[in-house]
Homo-oligomer: A and B are copies of this chain.
Amino acid sequence: MNYSLLPIGVVHSPFRERFGIPRQPLLVPEAKARLELLAPYNCTEAFAGLEAFSHIWLTFIFHQTMRNQWQPQVRPPRLGGNRRVGLFASRSPFRPNPVGLSVVMLDGISSQQGKVELLLSGIDLLDGTPVLDIKPYIPYADSIPEARSGYATGPPRASKEVRFSKTAEAQLQQRNDAELRRLIIKLLECDPRPAYKNRSRSDRIYGMRLYDFDLKWRVTEDVVEVIELVV
């Protein structure tokens, strides 16, 4: 028997492609998004009391990675991208049911002219992500600090210093957006390059789509240099 599920909301996020998205939620608190509730779920009564919770669970669809085929094993970036583990021992988006699970910070609930939105931060979700369910985070049930966690022993380290080229610096100044600067630094200091690619070539230019621009950068041994923001 199969189950037919309908989105109750959609995420509006700065992340316009998978590459560069933080690998777990809450790693980058500067990553903000709005979750717009679709009718008939755009009623504030259904969210009464939720603002007393600091964090919420989102159950969502990995809408850009849905496939007809699934592979029983994957190579998590955490293991350098060359060791395999079982798909169900990973959080890979390529799953038989393309269902994701993220805990994010709830910064507020906005209701204007019939539009109800949850204001979120610490997100790891693509723009356009369809959300199936929203639940409050309950620490006495959900928080298990002593859980044994296999190969995922701690958050990825922020190992790089992030610098801005003169061009990038001027572009950021023009935007006059201190939050955007912090977001870029937080995204790049964790070095989002694919682990399994040859990282020795320092002339390689990487890019990710963020808001309305392409963020371009290169990586040398300890430094990420932001080259420019291409609109």
Residues of A within 8 A of B (CB): 1-8, 24-27, 41, 43-50, 52-55, 57, 59, 61, 72-73, 84-91, 95-99, 101, 103, 130, 132-155
Least distance between A101 CB and chain B CB atoms (Å): 6
- Copies of this chain, complex-wide, total 2
Question: How far is A196 from B2 in the complex, measured between Cα atoms in Å?
Answer: 35
Check if B135 sits within 8 Å of A49, measured CB to CB. Answer: no
- In the complex with contacts A53-B149, A137-B144, A144-B55, A48-B101 CB distance below 8 A: no
A134 CA / B95 CA spacing, docked (Å): 10
State whether A138 and B24 are in contact (beta carbons under 8 Å apart), knowing that A52-B151, A53-B89, A72-B45 are contacts in the complex. Answer: yes
Tell whether, in the assembled complex, residue A49 and residue B85 are in contact, meaning their CB atoms are under 8 Å apart: yes
Contacts of A57 in B (CB 8 A): 101
Instruction: Show 19 A/B contacts (Cβ-Cβ < 8 Å), sorted by A.
Output: A3-B6, A8-B97, A24-B140, A46-B73, A48-B85, A49-B89, A49-B90, A49-B151, A50-B88, A52-B89, A52-B150, A88-B134, A101-B133, A136-B150, A137-B144, A139-B145, A139-B149, A140-B149, A142-B142
**3 pairs of A and B residues whose beta carbons are closest in the complex:** A52-B150, A49-B85, A49-B89
Cα distance, A150 to B51, chains bound together (Å):
8
B147 near A89 (CB under 8 angstroms)?
no
Give the distance in Å from the alpha carbon of A32 to the alpha carbon of B147 in the complex. 18
Contact A138 B91, CB 8 Å, known A72-B43, A101-B57: yes
CA distance A145 to B90 in the complex (A): 23
* CB-CB nearest in chain B for A95: B133
Cα-based distance from A151 to B130 in the complex (angstroms): 28
Assembly CA distance A134 to B96 (angstroms)? 10
CA of A48 to CA of B90, assembled, Å: 10
